[in-house]
């Protein structure tokens, strides 16, 4: 191939690739996807093995440090995180400033951005100890912030973290528990959520991760970079799709469960209606994460007593779509978000919390990418453009316009 820089100046040629369909923005050793074959691996480990055998804590360690932890490393990592779950008391008051009906995503991203104001001793991207401290702080505090965003939305009191619990248990207790009352932990519920977090933990250069890297490329600190990623995740074409899928299923249910006419609307592109939770930039085959969630959904719903009717509608939509030319020709398959919503709902989460759960899962991936970015001398991200505006024009005075 051509050695750029040897034969060509980078300013001589500009590649035009809207949406970065074919442009690699970086090298990375974290996650491998083969979209045609439907393969996803974290640090070489297939996603189905990690989902079945691992834990979210282990996977977080794997993504961030590159290897599965030994028992001692895992214990040290987990203990460090336990010591950082509290939020500064002043930061807790931050939540009072939001309206009660605020969507929890901007609350989450604002509070995470605010961490860079409260924890100024861990902002230097070139100080290894500070990077490590901000990593642990983020992993520990995001579940607390996420639970408080929920508590704020339902007008209930905040709970302090209970550090005898693991990260997922702690999050569930702070979300659904009440101060000074015991919270009954259902181990199957904990395990199901843990598995869903594993499935969301990384997905190479998606929109939010690319945002984290781009913000980080200006040497912005980890908290602020992750906050940027959370805002990117909120959009319905990305992480916001899990909320959009459930709203779509509920609407189809309310309209009498007519799957065929919904599919027809999608195919005719009526009012821009899409089959949410379908399609993916990289997967032109079944998203391996969606296959795992689909398999788990029925069992989880049976145990948690969820609404099987929405799952039935989702299954009918999938069946219908996978045999329809529109979807077949465009290679549109269910993505990770298609079946997660019905599970989150059965767990008792309001629809607006779904994307927050995605953010909790994606956090170790964002951190791993931000850290990987700084493993080499950072080149600031600065895309070029094709200018389509006016050529030079002379200024006209206000009186002459």
Write the CA distances from 150 to 155, 235, 356, 381, integer angstroms: 9, 19, 9, 35
Alpha-carbon distance of 199 to 340, in angstroms, equals: 10
In whole angstroms, the minimum distance from the beta carbon of 276 to ligand ACO comes to 5
Classify the C-alpha dihedral 290-151-168-106 as positive or negative. positive
Residue 251 lies near ligand ACO (rule: CB under 6 A) = no
Interacting residues of 156 by C-beta distance below 8 A, sequence separation 6+: 178
Total residues contacting ligand ACO (rule CB under 6 A)? 20
Cβ–Cβ < 8 Å for 138, 87: no
Alpha-carbon distance of 397 to 401, in angstroms, equals: 7
Cα–Cα nearest to 172, from 154, 189, 153, 197: 189
Question: Residues in the chain, how many?
Answer: 401
**Residue from the set 168, 201, 266, 357 that interacts with ligand ACO by CB under 6 A:** 266
Of residues 318 and 337, the one with the C-beta less far from ligand ACO: 337
Residue 115 lies near ligand ACO (rule: CB under 6 A) = no
Of residues 119 and 349, the one with the C-beta less far from ligand ACO: 349
In whole angstroms, the minimum distance from the beta carbon of 193 to ligand ACO comes to 17
**Residue from the set 80, 88, 238, 352 that interacts with ligand ACO by CB under 6 A:** 238
How is 54-71 classified by DSSP, letter by letter? Answer: --HHHHHHHHHHSSPPPH
In whole angstroms, the minimum distance from the beta carbon of 295 to ligand ACO comes to 18
* Torsion angle of C-alpha atoms 288, 135, 366, 241, degrees rounded to 10: 70
Interface pattern 5-44 for ligand ACO (x via CB under 6 A): --------------x-------------------------
**359 CB-contact burial (10 Å; exposed 0-12 / middle 13-18 / buried 19+):** buried
- Residue 366: enclosing H or E segment and its boundaries? helix 354-373
**Residue from the set 56, 148, 278, 366 that interacts with ligand ACO by CB under 6 A:** 278
Cα–Cα nearest to 370, from 130, 125, 61: 125
Of residues 229 and 277, the one with the C-beta less far from ligand ACO: 277
Residue 318 lies near ligand ACO (rule: CB under 6 A) = no
Number of C-alpha atoms within 13 angstroms, CB side, residue 315?
10
Residue 195 lies near ligand ACO (rule: CB under 6 A) = no
Residue 281 lies near ligand ACO (rule: CB under 6 A) = yes
**Residue from the set 52, 303, 330, 384 that interacts with ligand ACO by CB under 6 A:** 330
In whole angstroms, the minimum distance from the beta carbon of 208 to ligand ACO comes to 8
Catalytic residue (choose from 194, 202, 287, 337): 337
In whole angstroms, the minimum distance from the beta carbon of 77 to ligand ACO comes to 27
3-state secondary structure of 34: strand
In whole angstroms, the minimum distance from the beta carbon of 187 to ligand ACO comes to 27
Catalytic residue (choose from 103, 203, 280, 369): 280
User: What order of strands is seen across the sheet that includes strand 45-46?
Assistant: 31-34, 39-42, 45-46
**Residue from the set 246, 252, 275, 296 that interacts with ligand ACO by CB under 6 A:** 275
Does 96 participate in catalysis according to the annotation? no
Does 280 participate in catalysis according to the annotation? yes
Residue 274 lies near ligand ACO (rule: CB under 6 A) = yes
In the complex, which residues of this chain contact ligand ACO (CB under 6 A)?
19, 206, 237-239, 241, 266, 274-281, 330, 332, 335-337
Active-site residue list: 280, 337
């Amino acid at each position: 191939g051509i050695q750029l820089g040897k034969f060509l100046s980078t300013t001589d040629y500009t590649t035009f690739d809207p949406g970065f369909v074919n442009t690699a923005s970086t090298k990375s050793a974290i996650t491998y996807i083969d979209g045609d074959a439907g393969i996803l691996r974290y640090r070489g480990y297939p996603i189905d093995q990690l989902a079945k055998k691992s834990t979210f804590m282990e996977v977080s360690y794997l993504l961030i440090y590159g290897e599965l932890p030994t028992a001692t490393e895992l214990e040290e990592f987990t203990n460090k995180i336990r010591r950082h779950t509290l939020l500064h008391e002043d930061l807790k008051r931050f939540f009072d400033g939001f309206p009660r009906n605020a969507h929890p995503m901007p609350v989450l991203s604002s509070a995470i951005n605010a961490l860079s104001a409260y924890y100024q001793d861990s902002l230097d991207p070139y100080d290894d100890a500070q990077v490590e401290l901000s990593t642990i702080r983020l992993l520990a505090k995001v579940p607390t912030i996420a639970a408080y965003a929920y508590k704020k939305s339902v007008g209930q009191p905040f709970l302090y973290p209970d550090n005898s619990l693991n990260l997922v248990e702690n999050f569930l207790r702070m979300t659904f528990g009440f101060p000074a009352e015991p919270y009954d932990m259902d181990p199957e519920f904990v395990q199901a959520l843990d598995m869903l977090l594993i499935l969301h933990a990384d997905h190479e250069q998606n929109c939010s991760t690319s945002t984290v890297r781009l913000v980080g490329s200006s040497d912005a600190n980890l908290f602020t970079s992750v906050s940027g990623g959370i805002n990117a995740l909120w959009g319905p074409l990305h992480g916001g799709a899990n909320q959009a899928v459930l709203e779509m299923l509920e609407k189809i249910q309310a309209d009498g469960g007519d799957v065929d006419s919904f599919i027809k609307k999608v195919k005719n592109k009526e009012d821009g209606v899409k089959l949410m939770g379908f399609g993916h930039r990289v997967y032109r085959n079944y998203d391996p994460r969606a296959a795992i969630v689909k398999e788990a959904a029925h069992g989880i719903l049976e145990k948690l007593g969820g609404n099987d009717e929405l799952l039935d509608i989702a299954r009918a939509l999938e069946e219908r779509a996978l045999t329809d030319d529109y979807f077949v020709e465009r290679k549109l398959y269910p993505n990770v978000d298609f079946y997660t919503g019905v599970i989150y709902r059965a767990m008792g989460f309001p629809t607006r919390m779904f994307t927050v759960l995605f953010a909790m899962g994606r956090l170790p991936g964002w951190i791993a990418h931000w850290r990987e970015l700084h493993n080499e001398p950072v080149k600031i991200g600065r895309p070029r453009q094709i200018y389509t505006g006016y050529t030079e024009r002379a200024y006209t005075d206000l009186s002459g316009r």
